[in-house]
Amino acid sequence: MKGNHAQRDVPAIPAVSEAELTALQGKLAETAAAAGLLDIAYTTVDSPIGTLLLAASERGLVKVAFERQNHDAVLDELATKLSPRVLRAPARLSATARELDEYFAGRRTAFGLPLDHRLSSGFRQLVQRHLPLIPYGRTESYRDVAEGVGNPKAVRAVGTACATNPIPIVVPCHRVVRSDGSFGEYAGGPEAKAALLRLEGAAGPRS
């Protein structure tokens, strides 16, 4: 009869478990890396201040992003500014994840990770390279940092460099506060900045 076609049994597609999917992603990442196609690796990790997105190039850690920054938007930014070859590949970020765990557990006061500063340039990068020189448990004012990088009048520009720091926590812009002790802008929000300073037992800004 017209329109009467025998129906064939379509085999069901077997469900893939989360563990199997993770293994497949890992294999894909290994293959991409071996072929030189893994430009930016990323993963997410849990922390006391929320889920963090970590991303690294072959040069080093290039991005740490808070949940409030929209991780999907951050991945789009990395694909646009650095390379479209962005892939979830936790293995490249294993040392970063470990050092962050140690930091949040109070067992680490400085990071020993290679960094890729390509998301910043000029004066902003100069400021961000200065920030790890602020000791754990201390803070500096924006004016202190401006003087530290040799441009004491650039207080506002220092604030912008801290607010746009692409590698927060590891590059400790949370240790920079206003002269009156108030926080100023922070990518993770004031609650995250307060939590990091409490963790470090930070003193007030130096006079």
Ranges of each domain in the chain: 36-119, 122-200
Residue 4, pLDDT score: 54
Q: Convert the pLDDT of each residue in 6-56 to its tens digit.
A: 555 656 666 666 655 455 555 556 555 555 679 999 999 999 999 999 999
**How far are the Cα atoms of 31, 113, 141, 174 from residue 168, in angstroms, in the given order?**
30, 13, 17, 8
DSSP annotation of 85: -
Tell me the C-alpha distance between 168 and 151, whole Å. 22
Four-point Cα dihedral 173, 174, 176, 181, nearest 10: 160
Place of tokens 């990088």: 149
Tell me the C-alpha distance between 39 and 29, whole Å. 11
Query: Which residue has better confidence, 148 or 1?
Result: 148
- 205 pLDDT higher than 80: no
Catalytic hit among 64, 75, 78, 173:
173
3-class SS of residue 156: helix
- 120 pLDDT higher than 50: yes
Whole-model pTM?
Answer: 0.82
Nearest to 137 by CA among 190, 198, 83: 198
Tell me the C-alpha distance between 93 and 29, whole Å. 12
**Catalytic (active site) residue 162:** no
Four-point Cα dihedral 165, 166, 172, 174, nearest 10: 60
Tell me the C-alpha distance between 78 and 61, whole Å. 12
Residue 207, pLDDT score: 43
Non-local (6+) Cβ contacts of 76 within 8 A are none
Q: Convert the pLDDT of each residue in 154-204 to its tens digit.
A: 999 999 999 999 999 999 999 999 988 888 889 999 999 999 999 999 755
Contact 51, 45 (CB under 8 A): yes
**Residue 55: phi, psi to the nearest 5?**
-140, 145
Percentage of residues in the chain with pLDDT exceeding 90? 76
DSSP annotation of 3: T
Side chain identity at residue 51, one-letter code: T
**Residue 56: phi, psi to the nearest 5?**
-145, 145
Q: Convert the pLDDT of each residue in 58-106 to its tens digit.
A: 999 999 999 999 999 999 999 999 999 999 999 999 999 999 999 999 9
Class level of CATH domain 36-119: alpha beta
Which CATH number is correct for 122-200, 2.60.40.10, 3.40.920.10, 1.10.10.10, 3.30.450.80? Answer: 1.10.10.10
